[in-house]
Amino acid sequence: MRSRSTDAVARGTPSRDFFAELGVRPIINAAGTYTKFGGMLTHPEVVAAIAAASDRYARLEDVHLAVGARIAALLECEAALVTSGSAGALTLGTAACLTGEDPERIQRLPDLAGLKSEVVIQRAHRFLYDHAVRACGVRLVEVDTHDELERAITAQTAMLLFLNKAAPSGRIPAAEFVAIGKRRGVPTLNDAAADVPPVDNLFTYTRMGFDLVVFSGGKGLGGPQSAGLLLGRRDLIAAARLNTAPYSDTLGRGLKVSKEEVIGMMVAVERYLRRDHDADWQTWEAAVSVLRSALEPLPNVQAERFIPAIANQVPHLRVRWRADPGEPMASVATKLRDGDPSIEVVPAPSEEGTLEIASWTLRPGEAEIVARRLREILARRGTGVPR
Ligand X SMILES: *Cc1c(COP(=O)(O)O)cnc(C)c1O
Among candidates 14, 56, 39, 1, which has minimal Cα distance to 227?
Answer: 39
The smaller minimum CB distance to ligand X, of residues 191 and 366, is found at 191
Least gap, CB of 88 to ligand X (angstroms): 6
Angstrom distance (rounded) from CA 90 to CA 132: 6
Please report, as a single letter, which amino acid is at residue 70.
R
Least gap, CB of 191 to ligand X (angstroms): 5
Query: CA 51, 55, 59, 65 torsion: positive or negative?
Result: negative
The smaller minimum CB distance to ligand X, of residues 170 and 326, is found at 170
The smaller minimum CB distance to ligand X, of residues 115 and 266, is found at 266
Identify the bridge partners of residue 229 per DSSP, sorted by sequence position.
82, 215
198 backbone dihedrals φ, ψ, rounded to 5°: -75, 150
Least gap, CB of 99 to ligand X (angstroms): 21
Least gap, CB of 138 to ligand X (angstroms): 17
Largest CA distance in the chain: 76
Among candidates 386, 249, 273, which has minimal Cα distance to 331?
Answer: 386
Rounded to the nearest angstrom, the gap between the alpha carbon of residue 80 and the centroid of all alpha carbons in its chain is: 17
The smaller minimum CB distance to ligand X, of residues 220 and 315, is found at 220
The smaller minimum CB distance to ligand X, of residues 230 and 303, is found at 230
Are 315 and 305 a contacting pair, CB within 8 Å? yes
**Residue 216 φ/ψ region, left for φ over 0, alpha for ψ in the -120 to 50 degree band, beta for the rest:** beta
Q: What is the CA radius of gyration of the chain?
A: 23
DSSP strands (E only) in the chain: 27-30, 79-83, 118-122, 139-143, 157-163, 188-191, 212-216, 228-232, 301-306, 316-321, 342-345, 355-358
The smaller minimum CB distance to ligand X, of residues 87 and 112, is found at 87
Least gap, CB of 309 to ligand X (angstroms): 15
Which residue of the chain is nearest ligand X when measured via CB?
Answer: 85
Rounded to the nearest angstrom, the gap between the alpha carbon of residue 355 and the centroid of all alpha carbons in its chain is: 21
Least gap, CB of 24 to ligand X (angstroms): 20
DSSP letter assigned to residue 252: B
The smaller minimum CB distance to ligand X, of residues 84 and 99, is found at 84
Footprint of ligand X on this chain (CB under 6 A)?
Answer: 35, 85-87, 129, 165, 191, 193-194, 216, 218, 228
Angstrom distance (rounded) from CA 57 to CA 3: 36
Least gap, CB of 86 to ligand X (angstroms): 3
The smaller minimum CB distance to ligand X, of residues 217 and 326, is found at 217
Least gap, CB of 367 to ligand X (angstroms): 24
